[in-house]
A and B are shown apart, each in its own frame.
Chain A
């Protein structure tokens, strides 16, 4: 692994509508283990934001603590990032979002960071319907402390230490569904083709978008006995349908035979195109989504793809009825009542 990032740019490198190349969306060189699933997810994030023509500096990256939470350094180097404390990314994201509703927020967390220490904050940021992407890099173990089981490890799954986990696994997608998330998806770090459109859909989604990405830990949890290793996950994937993201102003290029695909419209007119398979269910039905996750699990498989989509137009700002202008841009004159009101005020206390 090289520890020097190259400055070389291909003269003919593709640029997006903003005239930026993919390099402009990259970050520092990763210090994660070679082959770590998280790096593939970072690459998918880079590609998604590049292709979606999002100005990198208009993005805010937040994270908690753990291997996953290091990754915001490795993508969108022109964006401000905030590596906060363990399990508390949701509150920092909430505060940041309250200050400026005009930026795009992406929070990166891990299974320890979300399903254990940060469970409370995760639950409540979903409830608030904060306008953000919440992406969990889920490897079923605590990588940075050398491989202890996490709360998403399946019962019976064993990592490098060879001891099978005895405790019930938390399914973060089901939890997010139950708590009211409007956009729920699951993917696999080894399936960029599926992951990129899911991230794009999440970027477009107004409100809370949750993506649980199974991302094998090559060092501690990539054993044959683990249900979160590359081999097991590849063999047990079961998608809700092949997915493509079509931006609002783009013509539909993917042609599926009549009746074999369906469109899911996002608020701005963009679409997610799903090629139907045996799991053809109403994606806006929470009950059917729950049901399908359970059905697939009973078959010892992992449901991936877009699982649920319901656009709740009221994100946190709408719920608390805040002004359209970002709160951090209000001037002193706009927020300070000033001395004019003091006579009345003081009189009320006499």
Chain B
């Protein structure tokens, strides 16, 4: 039998039981790979459940720096009896099947094209620990120790990780290291030179960090000066607010009084959450909320109000698989249209599409600036994959010279100096953006009545159709202004006739797909969209290519629809590449779809 051989380029699947403490052990392993200087991506494939159901953790080790998901498992760590059959059968040919040999594998499991590695995890723990809880938890650490041996990894990295992880709980360091060694030693004794997959130190990660998108988003909101958050718990967005709160506790508690320079209100529902954000922003505080698709649906009416009454809103949408409750713990990019045109009547909203944790941070800062500059809702479209998985990313940066853009706000002096009559909805600069005032600013000037009903330039109620229409047209002028200040698409062009369009997490696999296509003799230009409305660069890129593959993770080609709708593109030239199974898209999938379109063949056949 041919045992799979590879160094720093393979995929490990951890099959665990939800709630068994495996997550921290698996993260310990992934982090060790990263600390050995090798690009790594880790994806938690978890159920909508707190305890008992199967959960998987995929770790892709890639010296080439491919951070997207790859189909297929080269090494399986099977600790879950419920899924052992499936995990066994789906292992790649030549792969390795690691299991707890305290119990024998079911008789039916027979393959002669894989290598079985049985380590008696339960027995080892029972022999070494008496506390039942520790026996369970350390089982996970023991298998990590065994992996360290099997993959020929530098053991000191694990020791250092444990030491830094438990720096504040020093008494946990020794037992954890002991558990690692138990696994390491057992594997060394019984499986010497069996595993041909290696993880060897490299120097490829530079100053990169490993971070969850939601953590970066919450941190971004702290740096961006958000003081009010209204929210309602919903997977996969909850950890955005949790991160915001934990960083606020770290950086925003007044040292003298112990009081908080922030207000976080857990609302009764998403309607109230967005209402709180709107009320706070209207009253001059930076505010935000985080939610997912169902929340966006509920917030629709309020988003229309904020659009029409011109109130800054920053909303983070961590997309999950819809429609309805859908697959709440699986990823998707299926809220694009619902977000772009949220609410009844003629409405459209600014969207941002981050593709890594650093962008989650940066776009949160940019998004809050844009919301105040444009006095309108801005929705940052992250997703479960980006938000809840740990990703390798450039480090977080903050330029001390950057000043919050609070937009056009008239303060006391501004109102005093104003010679002509001030109109809340009067476009004096020609960019469609009027000046606003904050309650309490001036005793006699600048008060107005905010409403979602039609109003004239002076915020006075009107049912005069011409005045209403004038206001609606001005909002389009503002929309045009937005096109010039939202983040521009990143484009890599080489005069190719065909282009590939990515956005958000679909771009994790862009480089890999491009390399694969290049190997097969295809050269394409590439564009990653970062915002809606589309800037002129997007329009030009679309115009310059005869065929464009639009890569998305939804069924209905929502970004394609937006492009067709907003840019008057001929629909035929935009070819849909759509992954809808709730798992992060793979490069192989994209390559197959593109090749199938080009020559009616899959890459396997082409090879």
Instruction: Report which A residues bind B (CB closer than 8 A).
Output: 55-58, 60, 62, 72-73, 77-85, 88, 90-100, 102-103, 120-121, 123-124, 128, 316-317, 320-324, 327-328, 330, 332, 334-339, 341-342, 345-346, 349-350
Residues from chain A with Cβ under 8 Å of B273 in the complex: 91
B444 at interface, CB cutoff 8 A: yes
A-B contacts besides A100-B284, A120-B268, A338-B400, 18 pairs, CB < 8 Å: A57-B447, A79-B439, A79-B447, A80-B448, A83-B451, A85-B305, A85-B452, A92-B282, A94-B265, A99-B227, A99-B228, A99-B281, A99-B283, A103-B439, A320-B264, A327-B261, A336-B223, A336-B225
Residues from chain A with Cβ under 8 Å of B230 in the complex: 91, 94-95
The residue on B at minimum CB distance from A61 is B449
Stretch at the interface among B52-60, B193-201, B390-398: B390-398
Known: A339-B400, A342-B397, A349-B209. A81 touches B450 (CB 8 A): yes
User: Once bound together, how far apart are the Cα atoms of A317 and B257, in whole Å?
Assistant: 14
Q: A90 touches which one: B209, B272, B278, B461 (CB < 8 A)?
A: B272
Residues from chain B with Cβ under 8 Å of A317 in the complex: 263
B155 at interface, CB cutoff 8 A: no
Known: A321-B260, A338-B400, A341-B251. A103 touches B265 (CB 8 A): no
Give the one of A84, A92, A316 with max B CB within 10 A: A92
What is the interface size of chain B, counting residues whose CB is below 8 A from a CB of the partner? 74
Are the CB atoms of B280 and A99 closer together than 8 Å?
yes
Question: When A and B form their complex, which 8 residue pairs have the shortest distance between CB atoms, in order from nearest?
Answer: A95-B279, A91-B275, A99-B285, A349-B209, A80-B439, A99-B283, A95-B280, A95-B276
**Distance to closest chain B CB from A25 (angstroms):** 12
Are the CB atoms of A57 and B440 closer together than 8 Å?
yes
Q: B284 touches which one: A55, A58, A99, A350 (CB < 8 A)?
A: A99
The residue on A at minimum CB distance from B205 is A350
Are the CB atoms of B450 and A123 closer together than 8 Å?
no
Are the CB atoms of A91 and B260 closer together than 8 Å?
no
B578 at interface, CB cutoff 8 A: no
Are the CB atoms of A98 and B263 closer together than 8 Å?
yes
Provide 19 A-B residue pairs closer than 8 Å at the C-beta atoms, listed in order of the A residue: A77-B447, A80-B438, A80-B450, A81-B449, A88-B275, A91-B230, A91-B272, A94-B267, A95-B265, A95-B282, A96-B280, A98-B279, A99-B283, A100-B284, A121-B268, A322-B260, A327-B228, A336-B398, A349-B210
**Distance to closest chain A CB from B347 (angstroms):** 14
Are the CB atoms of A92 and B278 closer together than 8 Å?
yes
B566 at interface, CB cutoff 8 A: no
User: Once bound together, how far apart are the Cα atoms of A107 and B400, in whole Å?
Assistant: 41
**Distance to closest chain A CB from B444 (angstroms):** 6
**Distance to closest chain A CB from B536 (angstroms):** 32
Residues from chain B with Cβ under 8 Å of A81 in the complex: 447-450
Q: A60 touches which one: B283, B403, B451, B461 (CB < 8 A)?
A: B283
Are the CB atoms of B444 and A78 closer together than 8 Å?
yes
The residue on B at minimum CB distance from A31 is B461
**Distance to closest chain B CB from A5 (angstroms):** 13
Known: A96-B279, A99-B285. A73 touches B211 (CB 8 A): no
B474 at interface, CB cutoff 8 A: no
Known: A72-B449, A342-B396. A55 touches B279 (CB 8 A): no
User: Once bound together, how far apart are the Cα atoms of A338 and B251, in whole Å?
Assistant: 10
Residues from chain A with Cβ under 8 Å of B261 in the complex: 322-323, 327, 330, 334-335
Are the CB atoms of A342 and B210 closer together than 8 Å?
no
Are the CB atoms of B272 and A94 closer together than 8 Å?
yes
B478 at interface, CB cutoff 8 A: no
The residue on A at minimum CB distance from B301 is A85
Are the CB atoms of A322 and B271 closer together than 8 Å?
no
User: Once bound together, how far apart are the Cα atoms of A337 and B249, in whole Å?
Assistant: 12
Residues from chain A with Cβ under 8 Å of B267 in the complex: 91, 94, 124
Known: A99-B228, A330-B261. A346 touches B209 (CB 8 A): yes
Are the CB atoms of B305 and A78 closer together than 8 Å?
no
The residue on B at minimum CB distance from A24 is B444
